[in-house]
Amino acid sequence: NAGVTQTPKFRILKIGQSMTLQCTQDMNHNYMYWYRQDPGMGLKLIYYSVGAGITDKGEVPNGYNVSRSTTEDFPLRLELAAPSQTSVYFCASSKTGTYNEQFFGPGTRLTVL
Amino acid sequence: RKEVEQDPGPFNVPEGATVAFNCTYSNSASQSFFWYRQDCRKEPKLLMSVYSSGNEDGRFTAQLNRASQYISLLIRDSKLSDSATYLCVVNGSPGSSNTGKLIFGQGTTLQVKP
């Protein structure tokens, strides 16, 4: 099993550009999450999904969109990139909710200039 | 008050030392608690879950005090390989909504020196 994979690993965007961060898991997990981590800070939840076709906002959803058309994939879309979106983005998945371990992908380092 | 609060450190300790990390959380209804480990420029990985009765895994011991809303992690006989950031994590949607949302502390950095 590859676990949770994310692409790209690194990206530099100009202000106003858009991009999609890809996330795929091969563990047949129902739950998937997107977090961002700013330097010296904990992870903050952007969006999450409890199954294909179901998504909901987390703590910091503004400027982002998600979709979940399959169990495996959970892409995160950035529209009109801003410098405040410079961060490390982690995708994670878990089998079920509250009591289950979340498995993280290796992250995408995004810089917006 | 932050939902999950940790002393950011850094903690600089010699090999073989015992070190303790503390964490407080604000939501008394929280049901699940974890310690995650994050190496530099890597993703977080689960170190251990924290149970009400306390639990131990080798050199690592986790304790939960629900009355004080306090979680701790004790590392005995520190190794160089223990150098990392330790994240205190609490479930963010207590109650019936099983969304799996987690609230992360900002992490405590440990540096073990020879």
Distance from CA of B49 to the nearest CA of A (A): 8
Return the structure tokens found at A60.
């910091």
CA distance A81 to A11: 12
3-state secondary structure of A85: helix
| pLDDT tens digits along B31-79 | 889 999 999 999 999 999 998 888 999 999 999 999 999 999 999 999 9
CA atoms within 13 A on the CB side of B83: 12
Structure confidence at residue A39 (pLDDT)? 84
Q: Between chains, do B32 and A98 touch, taking CB under 8 Å as contact?
A: yes
* Residue B32 touches chain A, beta carbons under 8 Å: yes
Q: How many helices and strands (H and E) does chain A possess?
A: 0, 11
Residue A26: closest CA among A2, A50, A49: A2
pLDDT digits (tens, 9 = 90+) for A57-113: 999 999 999 999 999 999 999 999 999 999 999 999 998 876 778 999 999 999 999
Best of B42, B50, B96, B101 to substitute, by most chain A Cβ atoms within 10 angstroms, is: B101
Locate the chain B residue with the closest alpha carbon to A37.
B106
* B chain contacts of residue A105, beta-carbon cutoff 8 Å: 43
Question: B2-13: per-residue pLDDT in tens?
Answer: 889 998 889 999
Contact A36, A50 (CB under 8 A): no
Distance (Å, whole) CA B19 – CA B11: 8
Question: Nearest by CB to B104, which of A43, A94, A97?
Answer: A43
The tokens for B20 are 């303790």
Residue B80 has φ and ψ, to the nearest 5°, of -55, -35
How sure is the predictor about B93, in pLDDT bands with cuts at 50, 70 and 90?
A: low
